[in-house]
Structures are given as structure tokens and as C-alpha cells.
Amino acid sequence: METQSSGNDPGGPIRHEDRSQLLGQNGLVVWFTGLSGSGKTTIAQEVERMLFSRGRLSYILDGDALRQGLNAGLGFSEEDRTENIRRAAHVARLFQDAGIIALACFISPRIAMRDMARQIVSPARFLEVYVKAGLETCMARDPKGQYRQALEGKIRDYTGLSREQSYEIPLQPDLELDTEQRTAAECARMVVDEIFKNEPPR
């Protein structure tokens, strides 16, 4: 059954601009990178709360969560780690296209991996945030007990402990957060300020 189109009917597919107008925000991917235990997810959770209080829709994409589902079949070889980030970046890109602020938390140890993610998403809608903390600090925090397991030989080639799986520090991140010097709340405020730098909060 045909229906008559109204004058406001765009007559085509819903565009990113249309979804952004509906939500009152532009989609963005905030890519948190850093060693395990540096504070990526903790800061992202605080950012999500701050954005929510300002009427902005965001969603956390956590590396561990994706490895339990979409990336469950991937291991920790260089090839699998790269594929893990490739898939994650495509998921983040879908959130961004929907007008949502995706808070992606992935160690993503290689500069090439992060560059790949930026290109998949779109350089203009990608914010690389380096969550900085020394290895000793991260090992002392060890929120998931993975450093302990690595030292006991239960996890092989753990990032930061293995020469083959070293972490390549970002050369020019969009934002650097030193979690040894700042609290999670302070770091989150810096991220929110960066998000709104060219898009003032309403």
C-alpha cells in the first residue's frame, strides 16, 4: 500500500547528519590506549557519567568485553591482536555513524594499530587518548590479576612484560593523561573538555 509522502519526508536513507540532529550531538570515537592497569576503563566510566549528566549519549567499548563475544576466537599473537583492533575499530565506527560518542578502551600496543583504527573511523572523528602510567604502577594496581598470572607463567607474552609484546608509546596523542599525577575524575574532566572543545556543551 502506497502512502503519500509528507513535505518533511527526506525521501532517502537516514544520514549521519540526520541522526546527529535527532540526538543533538555529533558521533565521535574516543580511543583510550595504555597499559593494562593504567586506568582506561575507570576514566571512561567517569567520562560516560559526565556526558550523561550533560545530556550526551555515549557507550563504552571495552576490550575484555569484546573478547568474550565478537572477538572470542582471537588469541594474542601479533596477527590476532591486530585483527582484534580492526574489528573493534569497525564497531566503534558504527557507533560514531549512529551519532553516539564511543569510548573505546583497548591497550592497542602498536602505533600501527592505533593509526589503523583512526583511518577506519575517520581522522576527523577520532580522539586518541594516551592513559599514561608506569609499568610498576600498573603492576601494583593489577585490577584483573593478569600481571600476577603473567609472572606465574599462566599468561604468555603479556603486554609490557614481554619484549615481543612491548607497548609503543603514542608519539602525538590528541590528549595525554598521567594517572600517576591526576585522579580519574580530573582526567575525565580533561577528556570531556577535549570532546567539547569544538562543540560547546548545550
Select which of 20, 77, 108, 122 is catalytic.
108
The DSSP code for 73 is T
What grid cell was written down for 81? 591482536
Using DSSP's 3-state secondary structure scheme, residue 137 falls into helix
Q: Are 96 and 59 in contact (CB under 8 A)?
A: no
Whether 108 is catalytic is yes
**Spatial distance between the Cα atoms of 187 and 198, rounded to a whole number of angstroms:** 19
Q: What angle do CA 119, 170, 149 make, to 5 degrees?
A: 105
Give the helix, strand, coil percentages of the chain, each rounded to 5: 45, 15, 45
* Residue 123, amino acid: P
Active site residues per annotation: 108
